[in-house]
Amino acid sequence: MQEIETGRIIIVGAGLGALYAALKLAPRPVLMISPETLGEGASSAWAQGGVAAAMDAADSAEAHAADTVRAGAGTVDAGVADQVTAEARAHILDLTALGTPFDRTADGGYVMSREAAHSYARVVRVRGDQAGAEIMRALIAEVRATPSIQVLEGVLAVALHSEDGSVAAVDVARCDDGLSVPIRLRGAACLLAGGGSGGLYALTTNPPRIRGQVIGMAARAGAVIADAEFVQFHPTAVASGVDPAPLATEALRGEGAVLINRDGDRFMVGLHPDAELAPRDIVARGVYAQTQAGLTPMLDTRAALGVRVLEEFPAVALACAQAGIDPVTQPIPVAAAAHYHMGGIETDADGRATLGGLWVCGEAASTGLHGANRLASNGLLEALVYARRCALDLEAALGPWADAEPVTLPALAADTPPDAALVARLRQAMTDGAGVIRDAAGLTRCLGEIAAIEAAQPACMVLHNMTATATLIAAAALKRTESRGAHFRADYPQTDGAEGARSRMTLTQALALRAQYEPDLV
């Protein structure tokens, strides 16, 4: 394989965590690997709710941490929750200084939204549902203006290369016009910040390329994956037949929107004392049950917001308009869709993975903050906190640096991309077997189907990154014989005590479990 050596830190990804880390590392030279033009393919840009932070004088970081632990269903690392929430205010102020136009009150305070399982309105927002896009816009402008940051757009990371138990290089391929054969980049270190796994499911709110590839790359290199079974399903994806599904932000329910079915019944009232503002797993299962029963769950914003929804929630208004729905006069059909992966590459307090030379931040990481059920709008906060921590630890680990020339990729021959039919088959297998409600029979069928899909295109690294993460999710879900947070087993509906254990698994262990259920592939 052709190799290029650079003194730059290689950052895989182009979302919030990647951008923020690159800025915190400046003026040390970094190289960002982005499959799309900056801002176009990252989940961060699609985040509607905002960033959770105790900015109001009546609120506190301690209360935020307590809500995080409570929502996480017994598997949140309380120390991590304390540390992350304590840093939240400083990051909001930092983003403000970088130009993020957060909604402000007349006296200069921050407008705060209330979201599910928060005891206070503590989600800092931009124009109702534009927080992710506006934060990304501000950071991208800063990155473009920072000389130490080089961005390779139209390039996809496909594998990590390890030597003596430490990551030594990243294999990348051009993907701007098909897929090329890979080339190996040797850098000063590697930071993975490339998103989650929602696109492994047939119904998702994630951008098209967010399909577990980064977690899969690390797993194939030998990294430990933690809490893989905990996949969060957002209860109010707009059910308009679009892939990915548009999101109807939780802030709508914070403003008083209610969930009804085709008969006009508010079905969440009987399921939880907080009704529509119950923890996401409970609301998602409530919506899913209505869908399965053919009762057409819908989000009704008419009484709570009326015409205000058009101005205050422009992304939702646009999605509705494109689907031929008028949210001022009609309820919005919704469905539970794969939204956020609480699990990922296990990291320590500094963002280090179990492999040497590898740091991780953002949704691809599993820090212990989210537990079994992420508290709303803690995802962007975690990305900010750990991007900074990774940057600080990289500085300490690498020591002095020198300027590095920009990296130029040579012309590369074409390679075979993942078979679209196999990807669709994988997404359906995950939805059917490892979705909102699971059981042993479905999970074992899912593992067998993943094996068959993998075997159908044995030389495709991109597909195998997806199947690696899918295998880990299904295997970890099969091993957890209880229901906890977002992981619900119909055959084990009870939770084994208030406090639960985090799961940890290597791909080798997951494959050994999968092998018991593989079909005859000969």
pLDDT attached to residue 61: 97
The model's pLDDT over 239-284, given as tens digits with 9 standing for 90+, comes to 999 999 999 988 899 899 999 999 999 999 999 999 999 888 999 9
- Cα–Cα distance, 341 to 306 (Å, whole number): 33
User: Residue 11: inside a domain, yes or no?
Assistant: no
User: Residue 350: inside a domain, yes or no?
Assistant: no
Last residue of a domain, one of 338, 366, 394: 338
DSSP 520: -
User: Residue 321: inside a domain, yes or no?
Assistant: yes
Provide the β-strand partners of residue 166. Answer: 163, 356
CATH code for the domain in which residue 452 is found: 1.20.58.100
Give which of 72, 20, 15, 64 is closest to 40, Cα–Cα: 15
**pLDDT of 521 above 60:** no
User: Residue 262: inside a domain, yes or no?
Assistant: yes
Q: Across residues 294-301, what is the average pLDDT?
A: 98
Last residue of a domain, one of 293, 323, 338: 338
pLDDT attached to residue 195: 87
Q: List the domain range (segments joined by +) for residue 433.
A: 415-517
Task: Give the least confident one: 91-95, 124-128, 384-388, 453-457.
Answer: 124-128
**pLDDT of 45 above 90:** no
Structurally, the chain folds into a number of domains equal to 2
pLDDT attached to residue 522: 44
Cα 272 to Cα 44, 344, 371, 420, 446: the distances in Å are 30, 29, 20, 41, 31
* Residues above pLDDT 70, as percent of the chain: 100
Do β-strands 123-124 and 51-52 pair in parallel, antiparallel, or remain unpaired? antiparallel
Last residue of a domain, one of 272, 305, 338: 338
Say if CB 25 and CB 101 are below 8 A apart.
Answer: no
DSSP 335: E
Do 422 and 510 sit in the same domain of this protein?
Answer: yes
Annotated active-site residue in 125, 174, 253, 280 = 280
User: Residue 409: inside a domain, yes or no?
Assistant: no
Average pLDDT, the chain: 95
The confidence band for 100, taking pLDDT boundaries of 50, 70 and 90, is very high
The model's pLDDT over 185-236, given as tens digits with 9 standing for 90+, comes to 999 999 999 889 999 999 999 998 899 999 999 999 999 999 999 999 999 9
- Verify whether residue 280 is a known catalytic residue: yes
Cα maximum dimension of the chain: 71
